[in-house]
Amino acid sequence: MKSVEELIEVKRDGGKHTEQELEHIVNAFVSGEMADYQMSAWLMAAFINGLDDDETVWLTKAMAESGRTVDLSSVPGTKVDKHSTGGVGDKTTLVLAPLVASCGVPVAKMSGRGLGHTGGTLDKLESIPGFRVTLDTDAFAKQVRDVGIAVIAQSADVDPADKKMYALRDVTATVPSIPLIVGSIVSKKVAGCADAVLLDVKVGSGAFMKTEAEARRLAAELVRVGERLGRRFVAVLSDMDQPLGCAVGNAVEVREAIATLRGDGPEDLTELCIALGAKMLVLGGRAEDEREGRQLLLDSIASGRALETFRAWIAAQGGDARVAEDDSLLPLAPATREVTAARGGWIAGFDAEGVGRAAMALGAGRARKEDPIDPGAGIVLAVKAGDEVAAGDVIATLYAQDEARLEEGAARLVASVRIADEPVTPPPLFHEV
């Protein structure tokens, strides 16, 4: 076998790795034989020179096999997972997981934390008093069996390669590479042992993939590699040119998710959850087709079953389930400010990444992994793309611990909103399935 240095040379010079070489790179890195600086060099070589179809599959397989796999064989039925490539205000999992579980498809999901301008499901869930995101894999499987739903932090012994590689990619400007993103996402799903995976590939100013062509290429690669590793993968391309729904933060997003489960959510979030949920019910064998799936989901919301499943899930993970009825039990930062439109017109759109950065400035996100977050900080938008506004109309309410944070958050938010003189057609929610 080539030395680690020789393996870096292969990629530096644009060569093709063998399956054994990629296994060796991944295992040597996880064991510590390959140092962080060597992996950083290899990642940059892979970022610049790419990995071909076979290499991407081999890398993904080696990553998935780098640690323990989750055994969900004791859970009856087809386990369906959902993964979003990350966005701003993306609280889909908080709605979709209990909604789909309430219709009889078990949901076993491992989620991540927010980083940079994108939020993370775990941080949002932890804003519910008492909620625990760490369960060992046996307790995880048991909860899925007993309650039909569990959402936990990726455990340290599942796909350790991704954890270590992602931490380096994050600080070496090597995140937005299609083969590396595919390896990261698909390896986690394969190690997590879901039978089928629905991928929500975000496209637009708030996503890693800024153009539709890039997002389409990523989606096709995710499906190809997932299927080559024996899993059913379906991908949709959904819009991230404006935040999803109105809330951006942590507890503010939990409030919006609860409202959506009650049937009072924003239109775009509700429609995204119903459309994705219908596909998950079909993948899980619970609905014949998407029309039937949609009806089951709408019935579950109307009957209160969706919210009841949310309550059972929160309680099972130690959280205060009374938040479902009384959202004053969720934290809310004490200092608030309304941001108003400087002039009249139509909301042409948002720089969604800018809105995410405004939320970070308020304290809702973290710039570095070890940074604390303020669960009660965030933004609630009063307008969406296409809405007409008059000068002085409120466009958002901001929440933070102090005036200094409000000041920076407000400046960033104002810079992220585009107002046009002519009526504007809002962007489509879906670009492609």
393 has catalytic annotation: no
**Residue 167 backbone class (left: φ over 0; alpha: ψ -120 to 50; beta: rest):** alpha
Minimum CB separation from ligand URA for residue 369, in Å? 14
Q: Which position among 11, 79, 163, 188 bears the catalytic label?
A: 188
Which single residue brings its beta carbon nearest to ligand URA? 184
Radius of gyration of the chain (CA): 21
Half-sphere exposure (Cβ direction) of 304: Cα atoms closer than 13 Å: 2
Minimum CB separation from ligand URA for residue 84, in Å? 8
Q: Which of 51, 426, 400 is nearest to 224 (CA)?
A: 51
CA distance 103 to 284: 10
Q: In what order do the strands lie in the sheet with 247-249?
A: 247-249, 378-381, 394-400, 335-340
Minimum CB separation from ligand URA for residue 156, in Å? 16
Minimum CB separation from ligand URA for residue 60, in Å? 11
Nearer to ligand URA, 90 or 256 (CB): 90
Contacts of 102 (CB under 8 A, 6+ apart): 148, 300, 305, 306, 308, 309
Minimum CB separation from ligand URA for residue 24, in Å? 22
Nearer to ligand URA, 135 or 181 (CB): 181
CA distance 347 to 246: 14
Nearer to ligand URA, 192 or 349 (CB): 192
H-run or E-run covering 419: strand 417-420
184 has catalytic annotation: yes
Minimum CB separation from ligand URA for residue 426, in Å? 26
CA distance 248 to 269: 12
Q: Which position among 17, 82, 83, 113 bears the catalytic label?
A: 83
Q: Which position among 184, 205, 238, 300 bears the catalytic label?
A: 184
Nearer to ligand URA, 178 or 252 (CB): 178
In Å, how far are 33, 288, 331 from 293, measured between CA atoms?
Answer: 49, 8, 34
Q: In what order do the strands lie in the sheet with 345-350?
A: 388-389, 345-350, 417-420
Q: Which position among 82, 113, 169, 255 bears the catalytic label?
A: 169
Q: Which position among 162, 239, 268, 374 bears the catalytic label?
A: 162
**CA 100, 101, 104, 106 torsion: positive or negative?**
positive
Q: Which of 412, 427, 418 is nearest to 354 (CA)?
A: 412
Nearer to ligand URA, 175 or 380 (CB): 175
Nearer to ligand URA, 215 or 330 (CB): 215
Task: Write out the two tokens for 237.
Answer: 């391309």
Binding residues for ligand URA, rule: CB under 6 A, are 85-86, 175, 181, 184-185
Burial letters 141-163, b for 16+ CB under 10 A, else e: bbbbbebbbbbbbbbeebbbbbb
Nearer to ligand URA, 221 or 374 (CB): 221
Minimum CB separation from ligand URA for residue 378, in Å? 22
74 has catalytic annotation: no
Query: Active-site positions?
Result: 83, 162, 169, 184, 188
